[in-house]
Structure 1
Amino acid sequence: MPDRTTRPAARGAWENNKYFKVLSKGLWALRRLVDAIALMLLAYMAVAILAQVTGRYVFNYSIAWSEETATFAQVWLTLLGAGIAMRYNQHVGVDVLIRKAPRPVQQACSAASFALGAWFLGVVVVGSLSMVGIGLVVKSPALRIPMAIPYMALPVGFGYFLLEFAISSLPRILRPEGPSDTGEAAA
């Protein structure tokens, strides 16, 4: 029977590493920043739409910029929200059969899933950078700002999603849950 007391010590030694501490604090700060930005975007959307509706139906005046900025805020919120949902494991996943498989199969499936997901997100991040470049010369209709600003939501949002995807996937690859190596239920 393997000695289970060595695993927590190894984890503790890793967590005492100064680089790990710096990365952990940086990740914590990044997550708080993304949460704050998402909250501000949601609040802004509510205020902008309320201003648009009030202006249109009370004062018979349409505020052109409010609809456009609320749309941009919604795009940013959606893409940042995908990363936030990944952090809390809120995306849909079908793993009923994988959980019943032996650990080597679980690890292989998790590794394949991570490789495909990371490849896709990487392609989207790199591909969206050309869109940002195009957006430097295109102006938005109402605000006349470069469309690169709203287009930046793609590489930033999908880049954050990729980071959270990697953080949530790597433990499943390195230490999957479920049955033992023989395929039997763990005692």
Structure 2
Amino acid sequence: MNDQPEHTGKRPIRVDHWIAALLLMAMATIAFVNVLSRYFIHFSIGATEEITINLFVWMTVVGTGIAFERGAQLGMVTFYNLFPPRMRKGLVVFSALLGAALFVLVCIYMIQAIYDEMTLFRATSPSLGIPVWIYYAGVPLLSVFVFRGIYRGARTRLAQLERMER
């Protein structure tokens, strides 16, 4: 019995890719509508900047997860390539743990900021007048994709190193 899944040629649906694509599409549409508005009726929609900036932050979080998974984040490959494969495994694990720990800190600070906004400051956004914490909430919620990307990227690199040792 074969434990390997049968390859059907179809790529699995990636939620993170769809979220990034939808966020980019929304940003482009909002900016385009604002350009048309300025050109045709000489009126700029004030909320477009607020929305696009916050969508960009969310897209960056999702894109960070995708970059980790693909191994496309910045790395010190010059030094990494000097080490033997066995030591590289340790470096991959250390790098993954360090990246996850740093992003846990980002999430902790964002959750603290959300709490402060909900209880102390109760600030609203300048253009739409919605609570600012709503924009902040995207970072810890979308961080699931970052942690998944770190895990998948490390697993892929460890498998590659395993193949190199054989």
TM-score range, shorter chain: 0.7 to 0.9
- Is there any run of 5+ residues in structure 2 with no aligned partner, and where? 6-11
8 Å CA contact 2:38–2:44 kept in 1: the answer is: yes
Q: Per the alignment, do residues 49 and 85 of structure 1 end up closer, same or farther by CA in structure 2, a change over 3 Å counting?
A: same
In the alignment, structure 1 residue 112 sits paired with structure 2 residue 76: no
Q: Distance in 2 between matches of 1:63 and 1:169?
A: 44
Computing the radius of gyration from Cα coordinates, the structure with the larger value is 1
Q: Which residue of 2 aligns with 1:78?
A: 60
In the alignment, structure 1 residue 148 sits paired with structure 2 residue 133: yes
Other structure's SS at 1:176 match:
helix
Q: Distance in 1 between matches of 2:39 and 2:105?
A: 44
Q: Distance in 1 between matches of 2:116 and 2:138?
A: 14
Q: Per the alignment, do residues 37 and 96 of structure 1 end up closer, same or farther by CA in structure 2, a change over 3 Å counting?
A: same
- Is there any run of 5+ residues in structure 1 with no aligned partner, and where? 1-8, 17-27, 181-185
Q: Which residue of 2 aligns with 1:167?
A: 152
Q: Deviations over 1:79-118 (max 9, x none)?
A: 1111122222222222244334223311222222222212
Q: Distance in 1 between matches of 2:159 and 2:71?
A: 17
8 Å CA contact 1:41–1:77 kept in 2: the answer is: yes
Q: CA deviation at 1:177?
A: 5.2
Identify which of structures 1 and 2 has the higher relative contact order when contacts are C-alpha pairs closer than 8 Å and 6+ apart: 2
Q: Distance in 2 between matches of 1:179 and 1:50?
A: 49
Q: Give the letter for the 1:170 counterpart.
A: R
Q: Distance in 2 between matches of 1:171 and 1:65?
A: 42
Q: Give the letter for the 2:43 counterpart.
A: Y
8 Å CA contact 2:34–2:45 kept in 1: the answer is: yes
RMSD over aligned CA atoms reads 2.6
Q: CA deviation at 1:173?
A: 4.5
Q: Which residue of 2 aligns with 1:25?
A: none
Which 4+ stretches in 1 moved above 6 angstroms? none
